[in-house]
Amino acid sequence: MTVTTRGSLLIHILTSMLMIIWSFLITWVIRPMLWASALLSDRIKEQLEARPNCKDLAIMLARKRRAYDDCVVFFCSSAGEYEQAKPLIDRMAKRGSVFCHVFFFSVSGAKFIKARSDDMSWSMAPLDDVWKWGDIFSALRPSETIIVRHEIWPAFLWQASCWSRVVVVNAVVPSLFGRQSKISEALNLAVKGWLLIFVDFLCVVDVLDKEFFVKNLKFPANKISVTGDTKYDRVVERARNKKTTVTELRSLFRQGWSPQGCDILLIGGSVHLPDIELLIGALKSGAVQDELQRIKILLVPHIVTANNIAKIFDKVRQNNFNCELLSDVERSEFEFTGSAPRIIIADEMGRLSDFYGVADFAWIGGAVHDKVHNVLEPAAWGIPVSCGLRFQNSQEAVALKRANLLFSAADSLSLRAYLLENLDGLAKKGADTLVFVQAMAGASDRVLTVISQRVVGAVMQ
């Protein structure tokens, strides 16, 4: 085994000292503080309890690794980053001789992969300790470490760079860039610029991202490639693979659920209470001839807890909409004792992508009060998308907006006006949206091409 070092001997010694200090702080200062905070926060407690026993994890990974010629490590912050990594993992796994292992920082990633029952080697990442990562990397012996988007921790990066080439994929301009004080921004850029000395190559989403890394973080331009976003590949491939499942759902939601006069299905995906209030305000009317009476609504909450579902149910009923829970509707096999409800509330997790495949129009939650959730899932099914005004956190939403394929509503009245004007043109708008998403796909193959070319170049040098 050859352990690589970056830069001069002096830099290596200073870096080693910093990593030891950092790991000491993590173990003896930050970790006890977090456990103290966990007494008051179930969320922090859940995150801490999910961390693995690193000795046991290293032994288990070493056993798995023995059966393969090569290993690639993926570091994903949470479920969203895992979805971006999945097309790359699938392509690498097809080779048969490559062992892929995913590390999650957030418990949400673990919950997501369990809910989907993906056949994948994964584990939670330990707290960022250089010795723990050393045990893990010595067990895995990877040739490549791929970090998705932005999760870069000092001890992890240092050990990854000692054992493998490090590549960041889907790298973008940080969402807070330009929105902080000058001091905070200068400090963040300095830290991130230092961490990037452990990175061999960047695959960025577009040209503006490349300019940011070159200008603001002094990363060499010849080590950056514009490859696009693998997230587009994931949603396109998932939609393609789920057509059979969605065909069955479509008959239930189109024929089994048929409120009188309703021929258009609007889905509220990952919605919060502010989203629901806006949707209800747009669709509520006392007029019998109101064109929007053609719309039936499937609400899929972002938070699927009994308490939140009860709040949504009460909110809908208070506004004189008849509604049912999806679990009750499915138990009765869409046989309604009275008139079919105009609103159904999904009260279970893990089915949102499938539901998008049966809809005519999607409202994406989060952007009314905070930040928008995933707009690409519905777009990949070829349906028009809309949301509130706070969508700038999502590059995909911004791109759809620029292409005039996303409508952002300021309030109920603006959404109502949009629907009245476009109700008969939803199919055309959806088809245009699908063409846009499919045209953006292909990043995964470009990333793998870049990685393979860099390997050849490194060998030749």
Each residue of 416-429: pLDDT tens digit?
999 999 999 999 99
Going by pLDDT thresholds of 50, 70 and 90, the confidence category of residue 28 is very high
Tell me how far the alpha carbon of residue 360 is from its chain's centroid. 23
Average pLDDT, the chain: 90
Q: Which residues lie closer than 8 Å to 117 by C-beta, 6 or more apart?
A: none
User: What whole-number distance in Å separates Cα of residue 162 and Cα of residue 215?
Assistant: 27
**296 and 262 Cβ atoms separated by less than 8 Å:** yes
Answer whether 172's CB lies under 8 Å from 204's CB: yes
User: What pLDDT does 8 receive?
Assistant: 67
% of the chain with per-residue pLDDT over 70: 95
Rg from Cα positions in the chain: 24
Burial state string for 215-252 with b = 16 or more CB within 10 A and e = fewer than 16: eeeebeeeebbbbbbbbbbbbbbbbeebeeebeebbee
Q: Determine which of 33-37, 131-135, 159-163, 337-341 has the lowest per-residue pLDDT on average.
A: 337-341
Q: What is the pTM of this model?
A: 0.80
Q: Domains in the chain, start-ordered, CATH in brackets?
A: 9-228+443-460 (3.40.50.11720), 237-440 (3.40.50.2000)
Residue 249: band (very low, low, confident or very high) from pLDDT cuts 50, 70, 90: confident
